[in-house]
Amino acid sequence: MNQIIIHVDMDAFYASVEMRDNPALRGKPLIIGSLPNERGVVATCSYEARKYGVHSAMNIKEAYRRCPNGVYMHPNFDKYRAVSEQLHEIWNTYAEASEYVALDEAYLDVTKHAVTFDGAREIARTIKRRTLDELGLSCSVGVAYSKTAAKTASEEKKPNGYFEIPDEKTFVELMIDRDVRALYTVGAKTAEKLHASGIRTVRDIQEKQDEVVRLLGKQGHWLTQLSFGIDHRKVEPYLPQNAKSISRELTFQEDVTNEILLRNVLFLLALCVEHRAKRYGLYGKGVTLKITYADMKSITRSKATASSNSAIEIYKEAVQLFEQVEKRPIRLIGAGIYNLSTEYEKQLSFDDLLQNTSYTKAAELKEQFAAMQRRYGLDFEGHLEQIYRWDTLHKTAEYMRKHS
């Protein structure tokens, strides 16, 4: 039996959740991300804001220039994750396999449940109806024979859209004369390379396959396959242990040169990495440090380590990497672990962390908290769980910056 895949993509997810919870925001250009007086980017925005040319990943200053009358809000990731779990409950009802791409997007293999495209059409309509009735949110849904075609279909009629691509022939007929950017995975840089060689449309990819492969190698071969609608990939349920790395980073509102502050922030980031790693029983065999300087130059440093998900170990390795980089004003700093492997470990509370004899670095951890509390006057011990939240972490780091 051929595959039948549904791709579900929520419409302006973060913004839609906020508008659902606060009807006064409806119809307004709502921009979720940093505030106009802060550094950062747009996470997402309402369709009213997109009319002004605002889009995800845009610098917040540029977004404000284009849409000065917009409503700007910080994201509430805890709320969005909770809504995402509700979405997953609906989606999983109809799929034998679900592959989550993000909080608001998934591929669903409905081959056995649907049997036919008519059956898949009914499932898609049910998903759209339940999402609206139960959660007050709209989504766009594509039904197709492959993952690429399903993703393409869900984009075709956004927002609140529905579209079908039943076979390769239909896919090619739809895409043949579109720009190469219309093919999933073709980004701006790849398109620029192709355009420079006179390859502008999907038809051009078909007619110049050897040139595409010469330019892009393995990716080029993949694109030539896609240009003919060929994609045999299966829906693969996401498993946390399949992640390549776990990291957290933070952008300061003003450039930082204070090395003590930077080390302290690395410690908080290491705690966040540990929290996520232990949540899924993951251990890393390497530590990474990321820095973006004031001039926007970014560097990444890494070091292979013994298997660990300990915040104090991640912190110490990250500090060693930090000691080796050029010291000049820093805009962003991040820490992470990579080369992940699985092993069960109970997630520990702060008290457990200090009392558990298996945690050999408890004294170092406690001393680090005490030193930071003396320096900044913050009760880290009493509010450890909150530090893992995106908004609290940023507010804490900014408080530390202002009082360092």
Residues with catalytic function: 105
Residue 36 preceded by cis peptide, ω within 30? no
Q: At what angle do helices 209-216 and 188-196 cross, to 10 degrees?
A: 130
Residues 54, 43: Cα–Cα separation, whole Å: 11
Distance CA 150, CA 261 (A): 47
Residues whose CB falls within 8 Å of the CB of residue 382, separated by 6 or more in sequence, listed in order: none
